[in-house]
Amino acid sequence: MRNKMLALILACSASQAIAGFDVVALGVRGGVEEGNLTSYLIRSDDQKLYLGLDAGSVLPGISKALGKGAFPQVTAENAAPYTPQGAVFRNLIGGYFISHGHLDHLAGLIISSPEDSHKPIYGTADTIGTLRQHYFNGKVWPNFTDAGSGLRIGTYRLNAPRPAQRFSIGLTGLDGVIYPLSHGGTPSSMILVSRNNESFAFFGDTGPDQVEKSKNLETVWRVLGDEAKAKRLKGIIIETSYPDGVPDSKLFGHLTPEWLLKELKVFETASGGAGSLKGVTVIISHVKPSLKAGADPEAEIMQQLEKGNDLGVKFVRMQQGDALSL
Ligand SMILES: [Zn+2]
Ligand SMILES: [Zn+2]
């Protein structure tokens, strides 16, 4: 008995020491085909609830992830009266962060809203305004929020925390800070989540500063540079929409491998110079599928990133339903 207790205590303190984040990919593409659009879940591994990071495809992603064993804590028995898919959706997602108002980042949220439980949605004032005026407006869809026009059903509590200011994310135990990004004329954003002196960054769609004529990424790299220096940063999710060769004039606020590598160089400098990003996980998101026979943009993008990877970062491409512990 005593040994068992001791083992338990040791196990607890060990898990605290290696605490980190659980990430599940619900959707990993940047458009064209519905069913696998940008959406990830993240939670602190000492907490129950996940935060949704965008919500392009939600329920199809949960199905896929259940099939891959990403939610071992959910069984048909303990999900009742819901299906396991319903239980993850309603009881394990504690809120959503929406990076910007484009459909490929929130279509799943809209379509599944009639079956959702009460939860908060976070975004910039621009994103929250878009959700209120153009989606949950009683015209294209009933108003499932607590604000705006028409009958307010009130499933979602809309929150627009000020940029660069820390807030606590509902019952997820995570703190968040939102920073603006430039996305070809559409305001987009990044969220830095943190807990237990560890942090993780999720980027909405973004173009390179040079093309966007912006300093938004420069600002974000400075913030993340401090996180990396303090050895807090566990990883980032960032887009690479197209393989190399797409001219800047046709990027429409997105990144290619060449541009991401250039931006990561700025990040490396802000983190203390050469070698300072070694081992940092960079999850590549929002790849745009091609309908051309024989084209494989995903493989191309990952090859191009690896080829230019003199930073020593760990480029990861999660597939829909994959889970990763960081
Ligand atoms: Zn997008
Ligand atoms: Zn977009």
HSE on the CB side for 61, CA within 13 Å? 32
pLDDT tens for each residue of 89-143: 999 999 999 999 999 999 999 999 999 999 999 999 999 999 999 999 999 999 9
Q: How far is the CA of 132 from the centre of ligand 1 (A)?
A: 19
Q: How far is the CA of 105 from the centre of ligand 1 (A)?
A: 6
- Tell me the average pLDDT of the chain: 94
Q: How far is the CA of 205 from the centre of ligand 2 (A)?
A: 5
Mean per-residue pLDDT, 139-151: 93
- pLDDT at site 13: 45
Mean per-residue pLDDT, 146-170: 95
Closest ligand to the CA of 239: 1
Q: How far is the CA of 94 from the centre of ligand 1 (A)?
A: 23
| Residue type at position 131 | L
**pLDDT class of 3 with cuts at 50, 70, 90:** low
**pLDDT class of 7 with cuts at 50, 70, 90:** low
Instruction: Tell me the domain boundaries of the chain.
Output: 21-320
Residues with CB under 5 A from ligand 2 (ion): 102, 205
Closest ligand to the CA of 32: 1
224-to-177, 179, 209, 238, 278 alpha-carbon distances in Å: 12, 11, 16, 13, 14
Closest ligand to the CA of 184: 2
Q: How far is the CA of 46 from the centre of ligand 2 (A)?
A: 32
- pLDDT at site 16: 46
Q: How far is the CA of 256 from the centre of ligand 2 (A)?
A: 15
Q: How far is the CA of 139 from the centre of ligand 1 (A)?
A: 23
Q: How far is the CA of 164 from the centre of ligand 1 (A)?
A: 22
Distance CA 1, CA 5 (A): 6
Closest ligand to the CA of 101: 2
pLDDT tens for each residue of 17-69: 456 999 999 999 998 999 999 999 999 999 999 999 999 999 999 999 999 99
Closest ligand to the CA of 187: 2
Chain centre distance of CA 159 = 17
- pLDDT at site 18: 57
pLDDT over 80 (residue 4): no
Distance CA 308, CA 305 (A): 5
CATH of 21-320, one of 3.40.50.1260, 3.40.50.300, 3.60.15.10, 3.40.50.20: 3.60.15.10
Largest CA distance in the chain: 69
Distance CA 163, CA 166 (A): 8
Q: How far is the CA of 38 from the centre of ligand 2 (A)?
A: 10
Q: Are 240 and 193 in contact (CB under 8 A)?
A: no
- pLDDT at site 150: 83
pLDDT over 60 (residue 253): yes
Mean per-residue pLDDT, 164-186: 97
Q: How far is the CA of 103 from the centre of ligand 1 (A)?
A: 7
pLDDT over 50 (residue 213): yes
Q: How far is the CA of 286 from the centre of ligand 1 (A)?
A: 6
**pLDDT class of 238 with cuts at 50, 70, 90:** very high
Q: How far is the CA of 236 from the centre of ligand 2 (A)?
A: 18
Q: How far is the CA of 303 from the centre of ligand 1 (A)?
A: 22
Q: How far is the CA of 149 from the centre of ligand 1 (A)?
A: 26
Distance CA 160, CA 267 (A): 27
Distance CA 144, CA 136 (A): 6
Closest ligand to the CA of 189: 2
Q: How far is the CA of 239 from the centre of ligand 1 (A)?
A: 9
Q: How far is the CA of 104 from the centre of ligand 1 (A)?
A: 5
Q: Are 172 and 94 in contact (CB under 8 A)?
A: yes
Q: How far is the CA of 183 from the centre of ligand 2 (A)?
A: 7
The 3-class secondary structure across the chain, one letter per residue, is CHHHHHHHHHHHHHHHHCCCEEEEEEECECCCCCCCECEEEEEECCCCCEEEECCCCCHHHHHHHHHCCCCCCCCHHHHCCCCHHHHHHHHHEEEEECCCCCHHHCHHHHHHHHHCCCEEEECCHHHHHHHHHHHCCCCCCCCCECCCCCCCCCCEEEECCCCCCCEEECCCCEEEEEEEEEECCEEEEEEEEEECCEEEEEECCCCCHHHHCCCHHHHHHHHHHHHHHCCCEEEEEEECCCCCCCCHHHCCCCCCHHHHHHHHHHHHHHCCCCCCCCCCEEEEECECCCCCCCCCHHHHHHHHHHHCCCCCCEEECCCCCCEEEC
Closest ligand to the CA of 54: 1
113-to-88, 92, 147 alpha-carbon distances in Å: 14, 15, 15
